[in-house]
Amino acid sequence: MTIERLPELSVLRRNWPEYAGEATTHEVEVQGVRIGAEDPVVIAGPCAVESRSQTMNIARDVHEAGGKLLRGGAFKPRSNPNSFQGLGRQGLEILAEARQATGLGIVTEVLDPRLVEEVASYADMLQIGSRSMQNFPLLIEVGRAGKPVLLKRGWSATLEEWLCAAEYIAKQGNRDIVLCERGVRSSCHWDHARSVLDLNVIEPLRRATPLPIIVDPSHATGDWTLVAPMSRAAVASGAQGLLVEVVEQDVDREQVKCDGHQGVPPQLLKSIVRDIRGIAEATAPRAPSRPRRVREAHGER
Ligand code: PEP
Ligand code: MN
């Protein structure tokens, strides 16, 4: 599927005249933080809200490291129904307290269309997880909730399917959508890494849509030691921000209830934030270049 052949969607540049230029982005503002502006935005926090002290500690560390928004799951999509499912409403209360303490806006996942209103009453940005990218009733409810949306890519979704999912939200009158690449499944699943981080997709997305694009190196790699290099690569590839999982300082990873081996320690988060600032500056302006074949087809040099 080439960009030129995408179906007609309102989230495409060609149907959104104020963002006709390929270098322009529809900025999405979350609690005063502009995603898609010049500075890359780091959204960071625990995989799941596990306790008050764990979340408060990590929230302070994220704030100190220069993260701009706090992530954390209160409702967790787990493959195994016997695994920890999140603290639910209590988790939302803890996130609200962490916002109060640090000033960081909250990004949290909503799994169930029936709970959208409740989650939206706490969250500053609603996250749609990879498993839910094609849960169409959920996308419609989230589109009506009046909050910005972080739309993660389904782990086997094509660019077209991903943009169609964004369109479900946009059709409800909400185009404050941030796209998040989080790795695609391959035959290497849990070999040297959890998934393959598809950095190839960033440039075609930028050509297709003015929606901001961020990258989640944590779920893409599943391994905290790979998160920093993939963060740098993502920003060098044009990502406008990162979604990073963080663990508490000196934590016993075996005791973490969800994704304990992929969270970066706070000090590493700090160096990631510093490094990507430099990379974003060094690579800006990132006016995308089209492949020669496409330029020629449009009579461009
Ligand atoms: C998450 O970010 O909390 C998460 C569950 O990731 P994904 O939906 O990408 O698997
Ligand atoms: Mn996780």
Inform me whether the pLDDT recorded for 289 exceeds 60.
Answer: no
Inform me whether the pLDDT recorded for 291 exceeds 60.
Answer: no
Confidence of residue 257 (pLDDT cuts 50, 70, 90): very high
Any idea which ligand is nearest the CA of 216?
Answer: 1
Confidence of residue 264 (pLDDT cuts 50, 70, 90): very high
Ligand 1 geometric centre to CA of 207 (Å): 25
Rounded to whole angstroms, the Cα distance separating 280 from 284 reads 6
pLDDT in tens, 265-283: 999 999 999 999 999 999 9
Inform me whether the pLDDT recorded for 295 exceeds 80.
Answer: no
Question: 194 CB under 6 A from ligand 1?
Answer: no
Question: 109 CB under 6 A from ligand 1?
Answer: yes
Question: 222 CB under 6 A from ligand 1?
Answer: no
Question: 130 CB under 6 A from ligand 1?
Answer: yes
Inform me whether the pLDDT recorded for 175 exceeds 80.
Answer: yes
**pLDDT given for residue 228 in this prediction:** 98
Any idea which ligand is nearest the CA of 243?
Answer: 1
Inform me whether the pLDDT recorded for 288 exceeds 90.
Answer: no
Ligand 1 geometric centre to CA of 182 (Å): 8
pLDDT in tens, 158-169: 999 999 999 999
**pLDDT given for residue 297 in this prediction:** 63
Ligand 1 geometric centre to CA of 78 (Å): 10
Ligand 2 geometric centre to CA of 244 (Å): 9
**pLDDT given for residue 285 in this prediction:** 63
**pLDDT given for residue 3 in this prediction:** 82
Which residues have their alpha-adjacent CB atom under 5 A from ion ligand 2? 47, 259
pLDDT in tens, 51-98: 999 999 999 999 999 999 999 999 999 999 999 999 999 999 999 999
Any idea which ligand is nearest the CA of 257?
Answer: 2
> Are 226 and 37 spatial neighbours (Cβ–Cβ below 8 Å)?
no
Distances (CA, A) of 266 to 54, 124, 269: 13, 23, 5
Percent of the chain with pLDDT over 90: 90
Question: 129 CB under 6 A from ligand 1?
Answer: yes
Rounded to the nearest integer, the mean pLDDT of the chain is 95
More confident residue, 1 or 194: 194
- This model's pTM is above 0.75: yes
